[in-house]
A and B are shown apart, each in its own frame.
Chain A
Amino acid sequence: MSYFWYQLRRSPLMLLGLLILLAVGLAVGLAGWVAPYDPEQINLVQRLAAPSAQHWFGTDEVGRDIFSRVLYGGQQSIGVGLFVAGCASVVGAIVGCFSGILGGRIDGLIMRTMDVVLSVPSLVLIMALAAALGPSLFNAMLAITLVRIPFYVRLARGQTLSIREMAYVQAAWTFGAGRRHVVRWHVVRNAASPIVVQATLDVGGAILMAAALGFIGLGAQQPTAEWGAMVATGRNFLLDQWWYTVTPGCAILVTALACNLVGDGVRDLLDPKSRVK
């Protein structure tokens, strides 16, 4: 633990990222208490109002308070990021590890399939999937997760293959350890670190992807607030009511930035190669 604090102090960027995430996380998580208005409350008289003491980020085209919507929208957007990174990494890691351990034809088949999925332009695949499943935030999450899994499968498999050959694993085999035991105790723990790093970085990426889908209209549905969808609607008002697009866009930027900073920091922590000799 104290090693962790030591590393943290040496890496101000990661500290910055963590602080930002903490602030954002608290604001968003406690949106119910922090937000001044109901994010879905319409007020046609007050539409497109400029930022003021009453409405810190102004109001949108039906008079809803943008600050409240940004806070609640964070729940959607960050939720997507966590879900995607978590699910894709866990599922992908499991599949990849087993593929590496089992080897042979099953391994070949799995990798072939992963290659094909990786070759399809992912944005097109995600858009088509989300359109086919029906536009909703959940389906968008599902689509992004499915498309990210192959990365983890490949990563985990690569790690498994190299670890499998290592001496201590061979030793465990000769001692008669079962496959599942080997996987759980040896392979997974050692393969974990690059996967964890990738997953942390993916949180930011997933937030951006969800925002892109929201931008096209395939993400969260009205009246639910979501950052990407807000940027999309706001661009019609960009020239006169710039705050409408800029505020959720900044939220996306700041959150993804923080996630990436933390991810980089985690990578530096776990990756022995980047430590100075």
Chain B
Amino acid sequence: MHLEVMNPRGEIPPPATLGISPRVSELSEKKIVLVDNGKFGANNFLDALADMLKEKYPKATVVMYPKPAAQTITNLPGWYPTVKQQGDLFIFGVGD
């Protein structure tokens, strides 16, 4: 006995792949961007990291760059490239 059935899944065109950016050899004298994703507590975690980064890398610059709330920006995808203009490296968090 055989049942022939049809596949219910939608086809998904595969996206083009992209590599991630080359790493740096060390963080000293770099401008490190801490991107607060806006969820409650993310700023506290990034503040804690900022203190540690400043202590270990006194010649580095640490900047906070909060992501705007999706409720307040019509073109959020267009905002992401602006992170690159803020420094050399980024740490993004904290997602769920």
Q: Do A and B bind each other?
A: no
